[in-house]
Chains A and B, each alone.
Chain A
């Protein structure tokens, strides 16, 4: 729809369910920097600054969602999005070569904590950076309504491939896909046959008996809520932070241990995500008195087609991944049930996630802010490692910076390191909902459960819980 914004007519489109999911987090989290993604990508190489500027400009020109703006109609309050035409930009440059790593991180975290004016202007900032030890590259901060971690990786890859093409006579990368076309496809979902089928699927899930909230710190929070509400049978939990203050703790799994997971996945024809989810799920069961009914919020990238992989934007949806397993279920049965449930979610993942969580709560008479999942999980399969392959032996560092806010109480991301392919586990947490000690505990037990499970795929969940 054509809208006149600041005296210029733009083709405007409604926000997608994935964007609305993100903006709902701002409302809950109160401040807009909760929506910032800060990342730094650095090569141990003397970069040609003019070529890097050119590569960055070309990548922004090719990526519509890096030029995305949001607009709220002052008369109706409706939210819209539009893409502004590309304009060549002279990116800022900072030289941190004589600085200590911690001090640099402090500065870049501070930049990442600067909120964008969500409905008023540009939603990204790029800075060219020199780090100590000969690393050069760029930092960027972008609003989560424009990009998610998959698009950050795709954009980074595009910049690096354009740079390599300009400098080393490597092939010029294929064009990015259109973000606006992906929005149009999302719009066509409304009222479609597919929507009807997805709705049927999710309604069947709501009709099951009420799930049980299983907290990553054990049953204490649910017990407290039951006492407070004078309802000993209450099954829903509440977990959120008013100010969204948060942090990220990163754990690096060594390459050998990562390989054990990958080889197990291959041997038993299981996705890596189902194996890790089995680890988290079993720990939640262990911490909650051997709970048989566990829900984890599973994030789905929705980047299955070639176009979706290269269209930028934010496409991530999340859904309740619920599995009910008696404790005599074996490890392999558990992983296979998780895979099966995940497969079903994948098929029905176009459904608007806010609607799904709202309908689930409503179906069980719980308040809209109620939750049955204490943990959000996503696995990024090897995309950053692919950049490492492109660079063929050039050392590459990729850092994620914190805005000091977190959108979710406990958000675990598993992602492969570009340097050696080992898995990094990022625990993004809200400080009102978890302490570093609780996260250490959660990671420690997840690791123990994972590797005991891989070594003993025929043991039962009870046996794994007892062994750990």
Chain B
């Protein structure tokens, strides 16, 4: 398969996932559109060197996450305020003031807000988890051991439960 057909196949198969991935890295719709274009462009370029040493899915996600990570790293002021999953999990809750998300749109906004606060590596893990990838696939993508991924995913689940079932001030 040549560069163009590999790109076409990837865009057809993972187009929606890439759009969601861009949403996890950039809140502003206009900037997000540029980021998504950049991801597609770099993906197409990368296929000139695709040698099949990893699956197409891993390749696509690595390129996409790495382009998006570069985007976050360049935003110095924002990067300084990013926190890890552990930090968010350790934050105390104030359920009495928490409001529950009642619509799909609100739930998505909350998810996006949560992701925008995370450091790139943790963002990669939460996006991959939400995309339905298993621990070993996330490990192959990120370079973390499956045990470490399992621990992080457990924390993510706790946070999501707090944010979506119990409410909480994080969501505000």
To the question of whether A and B form a pair in one complex, the answer is: no
